[in-house]
Amino acid sequence: MLIHTVLLNPASDASQSAFDAAMQILAQLAETLPGMLAFHHGPNRDFEAKSQAYTYGFTCHFTDRAALEAYAANPDHQRAGALLVTHCKGGADGIFVSDLAV
């Protein structure tokens, strides 16, 4: 299984409604995309004070790399990603992504 983790550093003028829209799109994908097992999102509590700039994030669980690649190529994912890039500090530079094999 892969856990795809995304942390967001919102721009100072970021629209909460844009982030909400992106999360809704991604949540719908979790219900329909084969191999996408789960989607969770929420504020980053940063209890260890190591990621203060990244105030929001989400995780997606995938069965395997092929499912992650199908998600990446999906037009709805790309639409949600474009919303996030537009509203993060520095565009794509304001988005941290990791993929953990578990």
Spatial neighbors of 59 by CB under 8 A, at least 6 apart, are: 3, 4, 5, 6, 38, 39, 40, 41
Asked if 70 contacts 35 with a C-beta cutoff of 8 angstroms, the reply is yes
pLDDT at 1: 97
Residue type, position 83, single letter: L
- Residue pLDDT, tens place only, 47-90: 999 999 999 999 999 999 999 999 999 999 999 999 999 999 99
Extract the tokens encoding 77. Answer: 């994912």
Averaged pLDDT score across all residues of the chain: 97
For the cut 90, the answer to whether the pLDDT of residue 15 exceeds it is: no
pLDDT at 28: 97
Q: What is the pTM of this model?
A: 0.95
